[in-house]
Amino acid sequence: MSFVPHSDADRRDMLARIGVSSIRELYSDIPGSLVRDGLPEMPDALSEWETVKAIQELADRNHSLICFAGAGQYDHFVPAAVDHLVRRSEFYTAYTPYQPEVSQGTLQVIYEFQTMVCELTGLDVANASMYDGPSAAAEAAVMARAVTRRDRVLAAASLHPHYRKVTETYLHGQGSELQTVPIDERGLVDRDALAEALGDDVACVIVQYPNFFGVIEELEPLAEIVAEAGALLVVAADPVALALLRPPGVCGADIVIAEGQPFGNPLSFGGPVVGLFAAKQKYVRKMPGRIVGATEDVEGRRGYVLTLQTREQQIRRDKATSNICTNQGLNALAATIHLALLGRHGLRKVAEVSTQNAHYARSRLEGIAGVELLYPDSPFVREFAIRTEENSRAILERGFSAGVLAGVSLSRFPALGAPDGLLLAFTEKRSREEIDRLVEVIAG
């Protein structure tokens, strides 16, 4: 199929047909003060070599730092095989490749992806992915409102501030609001406050696991309290930690979401990433997003299709739970390949080494003057927070000079009400030497 652009004669004809004198006139709703005539002064075009040189010079200004920053996205190792497969043009360039007659490979991969998400979360059904963790959390809240036909949404104070903000934005559009449930001195959700805040107008409670401060939340008692109030429990999880923790689905979660970036996707300065979304079977018809199902063709062979499409807005329109009509196909593919390479044991190993690194760091930080664990008596997996007497930004500056990204400053999130300090995250990439360097930086 060839590309045939419009000619000037075509444009004149079309404009005449609709009674408009110019294309500019079609944009008459835009205030004149905002319209520019032509492009601004642009420098001369560069040759390919000049362009490459210019971009290389910019890139050389990047610092490669040993990364101890987490807070939702983590510096895990992605084996070369992932990229090698993802960059195959059949995957890389295909746009919305879901017609089953010609896309069995893609559909099967997504089915495998969904299966892995179910295994990690301990729930019955997963979708083909969301944009990212925060929007998945927001969609979970919206779904809970649709399932329960209730209005209010509660979230733990220890939910990632970005997840909170995105959820608030989605709820604002629905005329609903997000209320916060405080945490106690151990960094866990305050159960009394939770019971107090619940009511028969609460659709769901969102809890992070481990929470923003790295603390492992006790899900089962929370699940009981929430279920008794007739609300749903939404759990936002660290998918790597799920290799070690009791699956939230087993603990009573109704919906589990996560940021899937640690699998197969580099940090990439924030994105693109991939949201994981799973729920109990009984809620499947209210789930957002694409779902791939397994079926049989006319010859009885196993095949895969997009299924339950009547949930989606292209059919259900304004009655759909969500208007999402996409997924993060390539990122989900990368995640699936990575997990397939790791296998169950490999993933557990990644989680174990990450955890061991975090606990080694903790032991090295004990006894450092001016540094205390924010929740010293609470269990954590691969991330924890320290409060620092010294300004955390100053510590980070010191780290830059030493080639270390010494965590995420808690002062970036004033709404948390936490003291100044650093959130430190550990992956299997970090070595003992690197952690010793981090400790030196923090100690000053």
Partner 1 sequence: MSEIPDGLKYTEEHEYVRDTDTENEFFVGVTDYAQGELGDVVFVELPAVGDTFGRMDVFGTIEAVKAVSDLFSPLTGEIVGINEALAEDPALVNSDPYGEGWMVRIRATDPSEIDGLLSAADYAEHVDA
- In three-state form (DSSP H/G/I as H, E/B as E, the rest C), the secondary structure along 220-276 is HHHHHHHHHCCCEEEEEECCCHHHCCCCHHHHCCCEEEEECCCCCCCCHHHCCCCEE
Rank residues 211 and 322 by Cβ distance to partner 1 and give the closer one: 322
Instruction: Based on the shown chain and the rule CB under 8 A, indicate whether residue 99 belongs to the binding site for partner 1.
Output: no
From the list 28, 93, 96, 310, which residue makes contact with partner 1 (rule: CB under 8 A)? 310
CB of 315 to partner 1, least distance (A): 6
Alpha-carbon span 170 to 59, nearest angstrom:
36
Confirm if 217 and 118 have CB atoms less than 8 A apart. no
Rank residues 268 and 309 by Cβ distance to partner 1 and give the closer one: 309
CB of 236 to partner 1, least distance (A): 28
CB of 373 to partner 1, least distance (A): 49
CB of 214 to partner 1, least distance (A): 41
Give CA 375 to chain center in angstroms.
25
- Region binding partner 1 by CB under 8 A among candidate stretches 14-22, 41-49, 184-192, 308-316: 308-316
CB of 316 to partner 1, least distance (A): 5
Alpha-carbon span 312 to 303, nearest angstrom:
21
Rank residues 308 and 340 by Cβ distance to partner 1 and give the closer one: 308
List, in sequence order, every beta strand (DSSP E) within 65-201.
66-67, 125-126, 152-156, 178-181
Letters for 268-307 (x = contact with partner 1 by CB under 8 A, - = none) are -----------------x----------------------
Rank residues 28 and 310 by Cβ distance to partner 1 and give the closer one: 310
CB of 310 to partner 1, least distance (A): 5
**SS3 (DSSP) at 298:** coil
Rank residues 160 and 286 by Cβ distance to partner 1 and give the closer one: 286
CB of 396 to partner 1, least distance (A): 53
CB of 292 to partner 1, least distance (A): 15
Rg (CA), the chain: 25
CB atoms within 10 A of CB 193: 17
Rank residues 165 and 316 by Cβ distance to partner 1 and give the closer one: 316
- Where do the H-state alpha helices sit in 8-76? 8-18, 23-26, 48-60
From the list 93, 309, 356, 391, which residue makes contact with partner 1 (rule: CB under 8 A)? 309
# of chain residues touching partner 1 (CB under 8 A): 6
Instruction: Determine the longest span between alpha carbons in the chain, in angstroms.
Output: 80
- Region binding partner 1 by CB under 8 A among candidate stretches 33-41, 215-223, 309-317, 433-441: 309-317
Rank residues 185 and 318 by Cβ distance to partner 1 and give the closer one: 318
CB of 321 to partner 1, least distance (A): 12
Confirm if 152 and 350 have CB atoms less than 8 A apart. no
Report 313-352 residues binding partner 1 (CB under 8 A).
315-316, 319
Buried b (16+ CB within 10 A) or exposed e, 75-99: bbebeeebeebbeeeebeebeeebe
Give CA 369 to chain center in angstroms.
35
Rank residues 46 and 315 by Cβ distance to partner 1 and give the closer one: 315
Among 209, 252, 248, 211, CA closest to 228:
252
| Strand 408-409 versus strand 421-425 pairing type | antiparallel
Residues 6+ apart with CB under 8 A from 174: 142, 145
Site of interaction with partner 1 (CB under 8 A): 285, 309-310, 315-316, 319
